[in-house]
Chain A
Amino acid sequence: MAEQHTLEPDDHAPTTGWVGASVLRKEDARHLDGKGMFVADVIIPRTREIAFVRSNMAHATLIGVTKPEGHAHQVFTAADLGEIDHLTAGPEIAAFRNTVYPPLAEGRVRFAGQTVAMCVAGSRAEAEDLADQVGVDLDPLAVVIDAVDAMKPGAAKVYDSWQDGAFMTSAVKGGDVKAARGKAKFSVRRQFKMARQTCNSLEGRGVLAYYDRRLDELVVYMSTQGPHVMRMALAQCLKIPEHKLRVIAPDVGGGFGGKNRLTPEEIAVVALARQVDYPVRWIEDRREHILASAHAREHWYDITLHADAEGTFLGLEGEVYVDAGAYSLWPVGAFAEASMAARNLPGPYRIQDLEIRNFTVATNKAPLGPYRGVARPGACFVIERMVDELAHEMGIDPMDLRQRNIVTAAELPYTTVGEMVLDTGDYPASLRGAIELINSDAVRARQKQGEPDGRRIGLGFAFYTEQSGHGTAEWTRRKSRVVPGYESCVTRMMPDGTVLLLVGIQSHGQGMETTLAQIAAHELGLKPAQVQVRHGDTGISPFGFGTFASRSIVMAGGAVAKSSRQLADKLRAIGAKLLQCAPEDTTLADGQVMSGSGGVSFAEIGRAAHVRSELLPEDVDPVLEEFATYEPSVSGGAFSYATHAAVVAVDPDTGSVELLDYAVCEDCGTMINPLIVDGQVMGGVTQGIGTALFEEIPYDEQGQPLATTLAEYLLPCASELPRIRVKHLVTPSTFTEYGVKGVGEGGAIAPPGAIVNAISDAFKETGAFFNTTPCTPRRIVAALDAARDAHSSHEVGA
């Protein structure tokens, strides 16, 4: 990876313009001075603190709540919160079983950690003291903790009236898998499990709400990825007219998907703010985050891959179970997990015969939400492990098998059996790129030679595609309750010629204050330093959906380009009059409208447009403000892709894994800012490494979570990681502005596949099968023991 050539936002523009330049981030300075403004940093006088009373049982009838004597006015139950409309959450599909998820429990609790009551006091500690004194009378019910068992006849139920344990059961089918099965020389069947996680943004959730008497509006500071959509939902469920509700997402300390759902604590805090005459806030602590924020992953697979004698894939069939937890979080619950897992299972391979039954199952755990990669880390883990398993069975190199089956550049665009249109790129080139980058020959040589300390070396690869920037077509296909089909931008030039961008997305680490400024600067002939981006506040920006689903650079970037071009046209029209030439003869550069050797500065045009309207052309209105919404012309998504390569050294006695090397050969189309793309990729990879090796929320048989602090829930630190290396291929999209594709999630998708393939490779000859993430030392030793036992019993039998 070459050293980045970086530019400051007030440097002179590169000759190619600002698109593609590694501009150092505009948002850095405040954070480096410790002056970021996160929800917990917002000071409103007289604010009182909230602590929640949570269920300590996984499943129980809620008989009653007893408030501590003398403090009843500080304790609130569901009955005390006034009228709340429970929003219907889940897809708009008749077969989906909708549930009511009350902000504070009503009559029943369905997971350990569910909110039962809220306590208000002058400090969090005092509020927690009160919470400890609240009596919660629970009558335990049978507990459901395993999604597969929950679908068996006679299993305990989370919802009594349901015929079985699933929110939804469906199937993704295409072609003729029976015929594929009949033709197959090889049929490899395997089971896999991906553990339950939570996003663990370093800043947890947080809400501060108060009534602003002067403006007659309820102000809600909230750590969210999408303030506009949250406002819409809060307004609906709390019956507040939307023009009297303002949601502000200030600096947000990471989201990764989890902050893109409306959660009960948030509703309860805002509901309380409706009825008290003091500001209230709740700042989630880490225990609450692991216990009760949106959970993620927890998939179980039983999959069979069919192939002919040459290893050509013929078909894929089996089942996917998703442990969705007890409720659906607004807007769409966890329904997309199972169907997206199923649709993405064929990966980039020519598999047109498919039948995957999938089950989104209710259990007594915290509800599932999205987490970076949504479903695809599971799907990629499974298909990429299956490829290696089949290659092992056939006795060939897994990368040869991939090359044999992967869709080539000439076959693109390629419609998958899951009806996704893989658009542009060169997938085989990415495979080759990763082999080269990881220096496969050298790793194989080292592996052959053996380690002096007895550790085993393994090399593994995984490929994925990442649907990004998808709009109306894809989200309506998914029957989404909210269809994020566009983004919006106001490009506003001030009288002095500087620019404000008002955008509907929210940036929480993605660097959009820089990249969107780059795009406007590129279109307007300014420097990024002259463009200020305002986001995350419903009071100042036009409606938009927020940052998730690898969509913001495609959608918001496109909206910025479009509204800035509209403004450019207006600048040229005014500039042409002042320069006494035709608008067609003008260009924009260095903050001026230029024509021939003459130029007129944006400041002069700004002055004319705002305070000297006699200077304007007759057909041009005053003020420099342009609004646009944008959706790519193809709304099924632009597909980024990458091959990841991992080298591990594993101790066969202890099962401990050291990641020796990690390389990524990726293609996200045109990069607006390569420095920021690298950061997104490396950050994603690190979260994927957490999925592969460390992170898990196990539950005991009573439904008690066994990880509630960072001492049990292990997050990757620098000391566990190698230097992640990234190589870029660049195949621009044909239907987005500048040819960009989204890149936010991709890094997190492939690490489980690549790393577990590497561990598997390290013990290839033992017959040990590694099928569960996180692939912990204990699980590795258990898999090696099982293989040894199978081998010796086989010998005894023979």
Chain B
Amino acid sequence: MRIQLELNGDRTRVDVEPRDILADTLREACGLTSVHLGCEHGSCGACTIEIDGQVARSCLILSIAAEGRPVRTLDGLAEDPVMQALKQSFHRKHALQCGFCTPGMLMIARDMIRRHDRLDEATVREGLAGHICRCTGYVGIVDAILDAHASLSDRHADSQADNQAGDRAGDRADHHHETRRAG
């Protein structure tokens, strides 16, 4: 059957079978091989994508269930400032070795940064539960996420200061204040 996906901002029509999982459709039908399959049962996080603005494991979603919903993969985030900062930090902090878990790690990292005004190591580690990296021991990944978050906060604070000379401390001093920005 033919379904329509809103894939990385473009309307795409693809042929799928009712049993196809979204990860296979993205990889095989759409050629988006940034979506990696490490376990195909929702344990490793390598296939993490964004659907309706929420991160999800594309191995656990049927392709037909994605009909008409906005789907974003790492490929569609080349211009995203959070993703750009994350890539820079992942590089600087040696947060990847073989590179197989990396797309999924970047997707969950971006989600963490968007949802948290404040991030500390414990929160990042908890947020990475269910994302498996077999190479790095996670230290580089944790550091990269904290580093990207800090650099984006600085940038954010600078632009705030430029625009309204606002109260920097008051803006982000609250603990564990989460803002979920869907879509």
Chain B residues near A747 (CB-CB < 8 A): 137
Q: Are B137 and A28 in contact (CB under 8 A)?
A: no
In B45-83, which residues have CB < 8 Å from any A CB? Answer: 46, 73-75, 78
Give the contacts of A35-75 with B (CB-CB under 8 A).
35-36, 38, 40-41, 43
Question: A28-B91, A32-B87, A719-B128 are contacts. A683–B135 as well, Cβ < 8 Å?
Answer: yes
Residue B17 at the A interface, CB < 8 A?
A: yes
A717 touches B100 (CB 8 A): no
Q: Select B75's contact among A34, A682, A709, A715, beta carbons within 8 Å.
A: A34
With A29-B91, A33-B78 in contact, is A719–B139 under 8 Å at CB?
A: no
> Which of these, A32, A510, A681, A683, contacts B90 with CB under 8 Å?
A32
Verify B46–A125 contact, CB threshold 8 A: no
Residues A125 and B100 in contact, CB atoms below 8 Å apart: no
Contact with B along A93-117 (1 / 0, CB 8 A): 0000000000000000000000000
Residue of B nearest to A680 (CB): B97
Instruction: Say if the beta carbon of A555 comes within 8 Å of chain B.
Output: no
Take A686-B137, A717-B129, A723-B121 as given contacts and tell me if A285 and B40 are in contact as well, using a CB distance cutoff of 8 Å: yes
| B19 contacts partner chain A, Cβ-Cβ < 8 Å | yes
- In Å, the complex CA distance between A144 and B17 comes to 43
**What separation, in Å, do the CA atoms of A724 and B142 have in the docked complex?**
12
A717 touches B130 (CB 8 A): yes
Report the bound CA distance from A28 to B96 in whole Å. Answer: 7
A687 and B136 CA atoms in complex are apart in Å by: 10
In the complex with contacts A202-B38, A709-B39, A723-B139 CB distance below 8 A:
yes
Q: Taking A38-B100, A203-B100, A253-B100 as contacts, is the C-beta distance between A25 and B40 under 8 angstroms?
A: no
B110 CB–A CB distance under 8 Å: no
B41, B99, B106: the one within 8 Å of A711 (CB): B41
Q: Confirm or deny: A439 has a beta carbon within 8 angstroms of a beta carbon on chain B.
A: no
Contact A254–B100 (Cβ < 8 Å) = yes
Judge if A620 is at the interface, Cβ distance under 8 Å.
no
Task: Tell which of A29, A31, A36, A508 has the most Cβ of chain B within 10 Å.
Answer: A31
Which residues in chain A, 349-368, are within 8 Å of chain B measured between CB atoms?
none
Q: Count of chain B residues with Cβ under 8 Å from any Cβ of A?
A: 56
A9 to chain B, nearest CB (A): 11
Q: Are A718 and B39 in contact (CB under 8 A)?
A: no
Contact with B along A6-41 (1 / 0, CB 8 A): 100000000000000000110111111111101011
Interface presence of B94 (CB below 8 A): yes
Is A718 a contact of B135 with CB atoms below 8 Å? no
- Of B34, B98, B128, which one neighbours A508 at CB under 8 angstroms? B98
- Complex interface: stretch among A211-219, A464-472, A671-679: A671-679
Partner of A679, one of B97, B134, B142: B97
| Cβ proximity bits B108-121 to A, threshold 8 Å, 1 near / 0 not | 00000000000001
Contact: A252 with B94, CB < 8 Å? no
B11 within 8 A of A: no
B149 proximal to A (CB < 8 A): no
A685 touching B44 by the CB < 8 A rule?
Answer: no
Residues of B within 8 Å of A723, CB to CB, are 121, 139, 142
- In terms of DSSP, what is the predominant structure of the interface of chain B? loop
Which residue from chain A places its CB closest to the CB of B128 in the assembled complex? Answer: A718
| Chain B: CB-nearest residue to A125 | B19
B141 CB contact (under 8 Å) in A33, A252, A718, A719: A718
Q: List A residues 404-433 near B (Cβ within 8 Å).
A: none
Partner of A678, one of B31, B41, B92, B94: B94
Q: Which residues of chain A are near B75, meaning CB under 8 Å?
A: 33-34
A683 with B38: CB separation less than 8 A: no
List B contacts of A676 (CB < 8 A): 94
User: Which range contains the number of A residues in contact with the other chain?
Assistant: 35 or more
Q: Is the CB of A40 within 8 A of B37?
A: yes
Assess the A511–B34 pair: CB atoms within 8 A: no
Nearest residue (CB) in A for B19 is A125
Contact B100 A36 (CB under 8 A): yes
**Contact of A286 (CB < 8 Å), options: B41, B90, B102, B124:** B41
- B contact residues around A254 at 8 Å (CB): 97-98, 100, 134-135
CA distance A125 to B19 in the complex (A): 9
Of B41, B97, B141, the residue contacting A709 (CB under 8 A) is B41
**In the bound complex, do residue A202 and residue B31 qualify as a contact, i.e. CB atoms below 8 Å apart?**
no
Chain A residues contacting B91 (CB-CB under 8 Å) are 24-25, 28-29, 32
Asked whether A394 is an interface residue with its Cβ less than 8 Å from the other chain, the reply is no
Q: How far is the CA of A31 from the CA of B95 in the complex (A)?
A: 11
Instruction: Identify the closest chain B residue to A709 (Cβ).
Output: B41
> Is B125 positioned at the interface, with any CB of A under 8 Å from its CB?
yes
Closest B residue by C-beta to A252: B98
B126 vs chain A, min Cβ distance (A): 5
Q: Which chain A residues border B135 with CB–CB below 8 Å?
A: 254, 509, 679, 683
Q: How many Å lie between the Cα of A699 and that of B33 in the bound state?
A: 36
Q: Which residues of A contact B39 (CB under 8 A)?
A: 286, 709-710
Cα–Cα distance between A679 and B97 once the two chains are bound (Å): 8
Task: Find A202's partner among B19, B129, B132 (CB 8 Å cutoff).
Answer: B132
Closest 6 CB pairs of A and B: A34-B34, A31-B99, A253-B100, A682-B137, A509-B97, A509-B98
Q: A28-B90, A253-B36, A286-B39 are in contact. List 17 more A-B contacts (CB 8 A).
A: A29-B91, A31-B102, A202-B46, A202-B132, A203-B38, A252-B98, A286-B41, A508-B98, A509-B98, A675-B94, A679-B140, A682-B140, A709-B43, A719-B128, A723-B139, A724-B137, A747-B137
> Which residues does B use to contact A, with CB under 8 Å?
17, 19-20, 27-28, 31-41, 43-44, 46, 73-75, 78, 87, 90-92, 94, 96-103, 106, 121, 124-126, 128-142
Q: List 28 A-B contacts (CB under 8 A).
A: A24-B92, A25-B91, A28-B91, A30-B99, A33-B74, A34-B75, A34-B103, A40-B27, A40-B33, A200-B134, A201-B98, A201-B134, A202-B38, A202-B134, A251-B100, A286-B40, A286-B43, A286-B44, A511-B97, A675-B94, A682-B136, A687-B134, A710-B44, A717-B128, A717-B130, A718-B129, A718-B141, A723-B142
Which A residues lie at the B interface, using CB under 8 A?
6, 24-25, 27-36, 38, 40-41, 43, 123, 125, 200-203, 251-254, 256, 285-286, 508-511, 675-676, 678-679, 681-687, 709-711, 715, 717-719, 721, 723-724, 747
